[in-house]
Structure formats: C-alpha cells, structure tokens
Structure 1
Amino acid sequence: MLPRSERARLTTLYGALLVLAGGGLVALLNVLVRKGLFRSINQAVTTYAPALHQTQTLREGPALAVPAQKAPGAALTPEQLATYRATRDLSSAAERAALHELLTVSLVALAVFAVLSIWLAWWMSGRVLRPVGVITETARRLSGANLHERIGLAAPPGELKRLADTFDGMLDRMEDLVGAQRRFAANAAHELRTPLAVQRAAAEIGLAGEPDPAKVARIREKLIGVADSSEHLIESLLLLAVSEEGLESTRTVDLAALAAAELAECTGEGALGPDRPAGLSVERALAPLAVAGDRLLLGHLVRNLLANAVRHNRPGGRIELRTSPDGVLTVSNTGPVIPPGEVARLLEPFRRRAERRHTAGEGAGLGLSIVASIARAHGAALTAEANPAPSGGLTVRVRFPAAGSPPPPAG
C-alpha cells in the first residue's frame, strides 16, 4: 500500500534508491574480493611456510614451498605433498574467515547506511516540499478578508519559486477582481436605490394633499424621467453582464459601415436631447474594416463611444471617428481637460468626472466600462488617452485581433 503523503512517498523512493545503491556496492565489493582472495592468501602463506629440507640448510634461510596452484603432482615428495596440503587447508580457512568477516562488516555497514539513508531522505524531502507546504497553508488561510496576504517565497530560482510567484500573481488578480466586484455591487446598489428614493419623495411630497393639475404634470414628468433613467441603468447593467460572459458565436462584421450608421444616429437632430452641445463638427475617415464578433455588442461599443464623445463635448467642439485596415477603431473628442491620472479610473463602472444629477438622459457612468468589457470579449485591446489642452477631451482606440484570429470563446 502506497504512503498517503508526498513526503512519505519521496522518503520511500529516495531511501529505497540509496539502500539499493549501497547494497549493490556491498555486493560488488564482495564479488571482487572473493575473486582474488584465495590466491592472495595462498601466496602469502606459501611465502612464510616452513622450508623443505632438500639442499638448503637453516643457515641458508627458508626455502620456498611449492604454491598450491603450481603443484607438479607426481613430482612431489611426501614431505612436499604434506606441505602443499597444509598450505591449501590454511589458505582455505583464512579465505573463509576473511569472507565471513567481510560479509558481517558489510551487512552491519549496510544496515547503518540504510538507517542514515532513510533519515536523510526524510529530511531532504521535507526541505524540498517545504515551499509546497507554505503555499498550501497560505491557500487554506485565504478568504475574502485577507486576500492581501502573499507567499513571498525566499528561495533560489527554480520550479517551486516560479510556482509561488505564479500563485502570488494569481492572488494579485483575484484581489483586483474581488475589489472591483465589491465596488461594482456597492455602486450598483447606490445607483438603483437613488432613483427609487427620488420617486418615493416625488410621490409622497409632490402629490401630498390636493395638488393642482400643473404640479401633477410636473411630478408626472419627473417620475417618468427617473423611470427612464432607471430603465437605462438596468439595461446597461444587463449589457455589461452579457459582455463579461464572452461570445457564444461570431460572424464577420463590417465595422466601418456599422460605425457610419451609429455616427449618423448619435449626431443626428435631437440626439441626446438638451445635453447635446451646439455646433459640433464631425470628422470621419472610415477605411474598410471587417472584424469577427457579435454585431449587436459591437454596435453598443461604437454607440457608447460616440455617445460619450457627444455628451462630454463642448459647444463648437469636434468629434473624430476613424477605422483603419490594420484593425483599429478610434474615437476622439474635444471637451474638458482630463488629468492623465484619471483616465484609467473612467474605465471603471459608475465612474464620472461630475456628480450625477439624476436628470433625464443623464448617463449612468457605465459607458466606457461597457466598451472595455465588449472589447475584452472580442479579444481587442482598448487604450484611452487624455487630449492635451486647449482641445481637451479623450481619445479611445480599440485594436481588434488580426484577420483570421478568432475572439476568445464564451465563459
């Protein structure tokens, strides 16, 4: 049965490999020693064996006995044969004793080595898996209240260091998304609650008692205006939610023709009502541009950009609408001078440069955030830049993927 923890598995693997390596080394040493041990012992024994008294005397020094491997057989005398047998028996006994001692010492050394190997494998696997444990504990502690925590693994470059850094990067993105979601929910609740409060106050105060017909007409007009504003806000929220889900299906859309149609509608007579500045001039350069996407969402993208350019312009101002064959849609307008640091904030939901007055035709602060969401759904890159003084205003560019590159799938 396999161990249940990664550390135990690594310990088993490392320990088994080290013990097998030690056992192989012990076996190899025993084989090599056994192979030449008898010859070495026999040579040593025959060198110091008693001399055969043939022609030498004790004063002449000891005579060498005949080695067992070179015994000539029938040419030996009885004394030489007896010496040969004694030498052979002594060599064999010495070999057996030496091999037994070697085997005993080797097994003891192997047992000690096995214990040290298992301990070393356990320690090493703990060192290797320590970053994984840190990542696991951090992930276990995380909740919506402490998404600011990071691993910050202090380790040399490697796979686990990259894993920890990737996890920290994912936490950064999650914290941004959760923060944006919380701000969106709070702003949406505020935006939806305010019209209801206005309607209630108009009904309770304006219609209290027996108001004259003129007052009733004014209250009626106010309630209808607030209802229209609330309806527009709800439609914008639904559109934002749909665009965040991605595209279920795509087809080729003539963006230049779509932009021309939306431009005619947004800059026509009566567009945007009293909020439309007087004397607006329009410059357009619509080169052929076909993109893959959803025609309805792309229409909302162009419409919101143009409505934003018209609503936040100035009398006698200018609007520029351009499409280029390399996949870029550009909408630029004159207007108030916007500090460059505020541009990114304007792309967030419910962000405006001026306080909302809850009047008819007033935007909900979702236009540019819807544009950014639709651009992401089509795999396009959106950039916004503040125009310098004295013209002021904003320039928004949406760069669509090259032809043949499909937008990201839904979900």
Structure 2
Amino acid sequence: MSRGGDAMTKRGGLALAGLAALLVSEGWGARAASAQESNIERRMRSEPKGAEPRPEPSGGPAGDKRNPGRPRTPPPAKKKLIPAAEPPPPAVEAPPKPLDILVTVNVPQAEIFIGEKSVGVARRDQPLKLQLPLGVARLSATSEDYLPFSREVEIVPDTKRLEIALDYDVSALFARYENPRTTGLVTAEEWEALIDTANRHIEAGDLRIEYKALALLGQGQLALRVGDTASAIPRLLEATRLVPSSSIASHALGEAYLASGQPADAAAAFQRAVAANPVLPMAHYGLGVALLRQGQARAAVTSLERAEALGYAPPELPLQIARALVAQGAYGAAIDRLRPLMLSPSVDTLITLGDAYAGQKKADAARGAYETALQRDPASPLPPARLGELFFRAKKYQEARPYLQRAVELDPDGRLVNAAELRTMLQKAVGKGKK
C-alpha cells in the first residue's frame, strides 16, 4: 500500500474515534434532558418526585455540589521506633585475692624487694610473710657479705613459699683474708658460709673443681681453728692439688703443717703460696717461722722482715724476729725488738729475753727473766728448762737438778723442750752432785 493510502487510513481512524466520542456524549446528554423534563412534569402535576439519589456525605462545606472524590485513606500511623536495647556490659570479675607466701633466706638476714620496692626483711630463723598476686614478679634480696640475688618468679595458686639462697661473696672474703689488717678478723661463720655456697652449687650439678676446692678449703680452715690438723691437712692438700695457683690454700696448708710440727713441709707450702702471690704477707711470715724452726735463722729473718714490710704486724712478729736474731747471735738487736713487748710480756717474750741476756753472759738478768716467766706460767716446761740449763752451764748442779727434773716431768714427750737433752743434763747433774 502507498504512503497516501496509509495517511488516509490514519485520518479515517481518527474521524471514527471522534464520531464515537460525540455519540457517547450526546447519549448521556439526552438522558440527562429526559430526566430533567420528567421532573418538571411531575412538579406541574403536583406529583411527588421520585427519590433522588442521596449524595454521599462529604467532608467539604455544605452547598458544595461537587461530587465527592474517593475518600482518602489516612496514611498509616508511623510506628514509633523503639531503640534496640544495648546488651548489658559484661560482668567485671573481681581480681583474685593475693596469696599469703613465706619468703625464706639462707643468711642471717636479708632485705627483700619486689621489683624495686623494699617489702621487708627476712631472717634465717624468721621468714617474711607477703601477700602477692598471681603472675610473674621480680624477687630480689641483698645481705651484707653476700652477692645480690635477683630472679623472676611465677606466682601460681599453689605457691606457698619462695626460697632465696644467696651466694657468699667469696672474692670479698679472700680480699679480707689476704689483707694483713683484716686477716685476723675472718670468722669461722664466714668459712661455714663459704662451704654452704660451694656445696649448694655442687648439689645443683655444678661440677667445676673451683667449688670442690672451696668446700675443702673451708673445711680445712674450720678444722685448723680447733686444732684438728689430722683432718685439716688432707683437705687442704687436696684443695691445693685441685687449684695449685691458690695462695690462700697453700698458706692454710703451711699453717696446718706448722701446727702439726712439720716445719719442712710447712716451708714448702709457704714457698708455693709466695710463688702464687709474692705480696701475701702472711705467707712470708709463715715461711720465716718454718725456717726458724729448722735452724735457718738468717733466711728466717729475711722472710719475717719482708712480712713486716708488707704491713703484717701480728703481736708475735717482733718475738719471732727476736728469736731469729738470738739464733744468729745478734743479742742486742733481739733485745731492741723485744722492748715494745715488755709492757705486758708473755712467757715466750720473757724466755726470749732471758736467752738474749744469757747470750750476752748476763746470767743474773737472764735468771730474772726466766723466774718471772715461771711465776707467770708454772705449768709451762720452758722456764724450768731454761733455769736448769743456766745453772748447769754455770756448774751449779744442785740448783740445776730440781729445774731439770720439773721440766722433764712437765713435757716428757719433748713437744716444747728437748726432753732427751734435759735428761742427759739431769743425769750428769745428779752424778756431779754425788762427788
């Protein structure tokens, strides 16, 4: 079909649509006119009019003839938003109660710290009671003459006791022992503390020979203090074998040998101590005494004066030097050494003074010194032995006999005097007296 035909068709369709709309409108108008006419005719005839359709009530004002529209449906009421309830906060758990814990120490007393705060003093016989919370804490302790202790510990519900074991300050102990001014102040309790420290390390599996040597050294020192040389010597000997460079162990061994009457072994031990520490004054002193007992007076004086020069000045030093000088025949020098001791002389000082006077052929002065010594200590065999010898050499045999007899009776085994020589003198004095 052509474009013209299509246009005509469209125009025809529109005309039909308009015609239909007109017919519809005219129909509705005819019915309205007929209804109006019927109402007029009724009024003229005085006929009641038919019921009119009742208008639906309207929300508008009266007289408004417009057809009411579709009643509006009120919008649904807005729901009030109720905020969601926040969850209750979690219940706060009460912190666990701190635990009652006893802190024990292995020392006479120690100050205890938690962190950096001092919390009290614990004693060996009185633990410190603390209240500590669960968790990890830094536990520390300090005590005089002991190394500081510090360690982290974990506090758990089963924790009842915390044990603190402090190590004795071995270096400080040895420093006091080697110092000529403080060596005499070292106590038995300090050697016991040294033994305790060494044994704890050994029991914990520390097999270093130094700890074994320390334990032996302490045991030997304690035995030596009570005169038990039979126990001291093997322990100190083993300590020097384990640590040959220990001047302290060698010195202690020399002391034990001297106390047991073995001056040659003592001299050898002191010489090892001097070789390990040439400025240990006590070793020089012990060597001098050991040499003097072997009759090596000149070498003894050298060692004793070396000890004096190093600052070691025990009360016996002037006496030992005086004895060595007497043995050398230096009687005047010996007396000079003894003068400072004469304010309160000991029996040994009086005996040495008498020996110096006897060397100078001053028999009366010598006798006076020996008799004073006898009055000071009647139980000592030395004064009667010296008096007996003095009278015997002066050929006063009757005066010599009772003194020689007394000396032998007081020391029959010859520990302090030459008992065999005294018996020989006594026999000669008895024989001379009969003539």
Query: Structures share a fold, TM > 0.5?
Result: no
TM class by shorter chain equals under 0.3
TM-score, length basis structure 2: 0.20
Greater relative contact order structure (CA < 8 Å, 6+ sep): 1
Which of structures 1 and 2 has the bigger CA Rg?
Answer: 2
TM-score, length basis structure 1: 0.21
